[in-house]
Amino acid sequence: QKEVEQNSGPLSVPEGAIASLNCTYSDRGSQSFFWYRQYSGKSPELIMSIYSNGDKEDGRFTAQLNKASQYVSLLIRDSQPSDSATYLCAVGIAGGGADGLTFGKGTHLIIQP
């Protein structure tokens, strides 16, 4: 049984600070890792994907992957109130597999103005 674990929160962060979201996964065969943002009542929106160990930066977002520790994280710099949402970690299998993703239950992030 593949599992993806996230702290459900809520995680409260002051505006302008760095928000740090964490995720662990159980399947060592996992090779693709994603962060989705979901606003209340809306669908998940892909914000970051990462496939190799290390950091990947895109604007204010940085994804970090450590396959040895089975750990993925998302950093949001200069947090804005509009970043308040639930962040879903998702994990997939390698090789261009079309298998569906395994999702964590999400971390609810609140950015305090």
Contacting positions for another protein (CB under 8 A): 31-32, 34, 36, 42-46, 49, 51, 88, 90, 92, 94-106
Nearer to another protein, 47 or 79 (CB): 47
Gap between the terminal Cα atoms of the chain: 40
**Least Å distance between CB 1 and another protein?**
9
Nearer to another protein, 79 or 109 (CB): 109
Name the amino acid, one letter, at 68. A
**Cα–Cα dist 4/27, whole Å:** 9
Contact between 37 and 47 under an 8 Å Cβ cutoff? The reply is yes
**Least Å distance between CB 66 and another protein?**
18
